[in-house]
Amino acid sequence: MTDALGIRPLEAYMARDLVCVLPDEDAVRNYQPDLEKLKGLDGMLCHITAPGREYDCVSRSFAPKLSVPEDPVCGSGHCHIVPIMAEKLGKKDLLAYQASKRGGELQCRLEGDTVSLAGYAALYSIADLKV
């Protein structure tokens, strides 16, 4: 895993996606992925995260198996990240930041085994489906 990531995570968790906890926010923000190597890792997507300075956690999400180099703000990824970071930080309400080029803030709440997410969104595209 370290070879494919190019960095040694402090911890890694596997569900549908792979979540790697890195040492700090700078490691997340400065991460330079090798997308071809990430394709060889387990999981549909690969998320990296760490505790933040301004935010409870900072993350980035990569999905090269789905031809998505980096997801700008990944809701499904935070459904994997939030339970891990909530336990580490000892809190159920988290303010998260996705540190992609576009970036975005998410207000997250862990309630039992349910993750609730809120935040602002921008319309990206509209499809005109005529069948």
Interval 71-98: pLDDT, tens: 999 999 999 999 999 999 999 999 999 9
Nearest by Cα to 42 from 20, 59, 57, 23: 20
For 44-78, write each residue's pLDDT tens digit. Answer: 999 999 999 999 999 999 999 999 999 999 999 99
The answer to whether residues 9 and 39 touch, using CB atoms and an 8 Å cutoff, is no
**Domain span at residue 103?**
2-118
The answer to whether residue 64 is domain-embedded is yes
In a domain, 130, yes or no: no
CATH number at residue 63: 3.10.310.10
What share of the chain in percent tops pLDDT 90? 84
**Mean pLDDT in the chain?**
94
Torsion of CA 10, 79, 33, 37, to 10 degrees: 90
In a domain, 57, yes or no: yes
DSSP-derived letter for residue 66 is G
Token pair for 89 = 């930080």
Q: Is residue 128 part of a domain?
A: no
Q: d(Cα 97, Cα 51) in Å, to the nearest integer?
A: 10
Phi, psi of 124 (to 5 degrees): -100, -45
Residue 11 lies in a domain: yes
Q: 21 — phi, psi (to 5°)? A: -90, 120
In a domain, 87, yes or no: yes
14-44 tens-digit pLDDT: 989 999 999 999 999 999 999 999 999 999 9
Amino acid 48: pLDDT? 97
Assigned domain for 32 exists = yes
pLDDT band at 2 (very low <50, low <70, confident <90, very high): confident
Within-domain flag for 123 = no
Overall number of domains in the chain = 1
